[in-house]
Amino acid sequence: MSHKTGETRSCLTCQKEFYVGGSQLRKVAGGGKYCSQACKHFAMKGKPSWNAKPDELIRHSAGYMQVWMPDHPRATHGRVFEHIVVAEKMLGRSLKSNEEVHHIDHDRTNNATENLRVLRRGVHQRFHAEERRPFIEAAKPIVICGVCGKPFRVKPHRIRTTDSRSRSRYCSVECRRIHTGNVLRGRPRAKRHSETKGRV
């Protein structure tokens, strides 16, 4: 007959009684509080990890600062972005689903009220797109027009493509039409169906 070294405990989540082995009690400090992983996850949801400090700002991998606010509707694992909290205090209300917070100086850690601006999602995206446009245009390679000799910039895939119809060789539609017209004028005229009708 084996001698049990554990004890029966009550789950802190569902109050169900369960047996905890002695090896588990000795191996895990303070273990044997929950009858299953589901009960443990339910109890630990929204709580900071053992080495987390609720009053400490944490930097997200995207560069934004996070604060501990487990009751906030936008909180993830108990934390929410600091710029959202500051913007909501400025407005005196919660942010709408189509609103985003813009950092004026592009420093994601600077969440001062004078550095934040609340914009609609579409306006915010267009704003950043216009800022990136000069850098995107400068990165495009320069091609010389095959008709007028004018240099112009094109997207890189328009040069690497093997399809001659998709390759950029002309600076405008007018130059393309001029080139197409010259090529067609140099070709022999195709015979009409009426000219070849009746031939054996």
Using one digit for the tens of pLDDT, what is the confidence trace for 44-55? Answer: 765 655 556 667
pLDDT along the chain (200 residues), means of 10: 73 85 67 80 65 75 89 87 95 93 93 94 90 80 84 75 63 81 59 55
Angle at alpha carbon of residue 107, lines to 103 and 110, rounded to 5°: 80
Tokens of 140: 């495009």
Please give the pLDDT value at position 30: 58
The pTM of the whole model exceeds 0.85: no
What is the dihedral angle through the alpha carbons of 9, 11, 17, 19, rounded to the nearest 10 degrees? Answer: -50
